[in-house]
Amino acid sequence: MKYFIVLAFLSVLCSCHKQDAHVKTGGMEISFVNNAGSQKITLGNTQYINSSGETFTIGTLKYYISNIVITKTTGEKYIVPQDSCYFLIDESNASSLKPRLNIPQGNYSSLSFMVGVDSLRNTKDLSQRTGVLDPTNTAADMYWTWNSGYIFFKVEGNSAASLQTDKSYRFHIGLFGGYSSGTINNTRIVSINLSQKGNAIISSGKTSHININADILKIFNGTHVISIANSSVIMATANSADVADNYATLFSHASTINE
């Protein structure tokens, strides 16, 4: 019984302590604008042309952004805590396109993030897979049940070049390196230098808006040329790594607006 009283006291003490160690923070909003070249994409029937000259539409576009790290001009890094660093960017859901973070005050000149979900989170207990990572809910269509793991990047649509009978193309890219025996790892880290187009100045009570462009056309030629005629469906296969190399090249810094 005594232990319980001690424990109770300790937990009260702890909760007080947290409030003391208060660091001033401000808001940071990373806004993802999905483009085809210089044009903002529209889901549905709009036709785009890839580097192989194939016309295609985009019906679904979703990807995970995680493990965000920002670095001050002094070189000091801030690693966004695990409980608030997983975001599902879903073109069909406007509010998902602008992840908001709370971070310590300062002048930040670079940003990096992972496209995908790291192996640690991919193997976490079910109870810690909440929100955008809940495979029974929001993540249901971004999760492979047969090869337990998240789909990091999903783009689907139609193309006359497709060899599928329904003229669809589907790229579902996942694989985090394997749980017990290794497989390919399609997580990719993207680093973005903010200093050219504007550092993010974070101060308490204010929000810094970082605008990131994602050029979806580069999915077809960022590093490797991928044509829909050759690969209409790319999922858990070896060539998924080519798509991953390509999605690592989508992102560029457009501007920063410091409120």
Partner 1 sequence: MKKYIVISSVLIFMIAFACRKDQTSHFNSFTTPSYFPATSYHFETNQITEGGFYLGKKLFYDSLLSIDNSTSCGTCHIPTSAFTHHGHDLSHGLNGTLTKRNSPAIMNLAWSNSFMWDGGIHDLDLQPISPITNPIEMGETMDHVVAKLKQQPNYKNLFLKAFGTEEITGDKLLKALSQFMLMCVSNNAKYDSVKRGQTQFTPTEQAGYNIFLQKCNACHNEPLFTDNSFRNTGLKPSILNDSGRYKITLNDRDMFTFKVPSLRNITYTAPYMHDGRFYSLDAALEHYNSQVMNMPNIDPIFRRETIPGIRLSADEKNKLIAFLKTLDDRSFVTNPMLGENYSPR
Q: Would you tell me which residues interact with partner 1 (CB under 8 A)?
A: 4-5, 8-9, 11-12, 123, 125-127, 129, 134-137, 140, 143, 145-148, 175, 178-184, 236-238
Q: Who's near 249: CB < 8 A, 6+ residues apart?
A: 218, 222, 223
Q: Tell the smallest beta-carbon distance from residue 17 to partner 1 (Å).
A: 16
Q: Tell the smallest beta-carbon distance from residue 6 to partner 1 (Å).
A: 11
Q: Which CB atom, from 206 or from 224, has the smaller least distance to partner 1? A: 224
Q: Which CB atom, from 181 or from 196, has the smaller least distance to partner 1? A: 181
Taking the C-alpha atoms of 98, 102, 105 and 109 in order, what is their torsion angle to the nearest 10 degrees?
-40
Q: Tell the smallest beta-carbon distance from residue 104 to partner 1 (Å).
A: 31
Cα 185 from Cα 224, distance rounded (Å): 17
Cα 75 from Cα 219, distance rounded (Å): 32
Q: Tell the smallest beta-carbon distance from residue 165 to partner 1 (Å).
A: 18
Q: Tell the smallest beta-carbon distance from residue 181 to partner 1 (Å).
A: 5
Q: Which of 143, 136, 160, 171 has the alpha carbon at shortest distance from 242?
A: 171
Measured CA distances, 86 to 8, 56, 129 (Å): 33, 29, 10
Q: Which CB atom, from 42 or from 147, has the smaller least distance to partner 1? A: 147
Residue 80 contacts residue 69 (beta carbons within 8 Å): yes
Q: Which CB atom, from 189 or from 238, has the smaller least distance to partner 1? A: 238
How, if at all, do strands 168-174 and 100-104 pair? unpaired
Q: Which CB atom, from 151 or from 175, has the smaller least distance to partner 1? A: 175
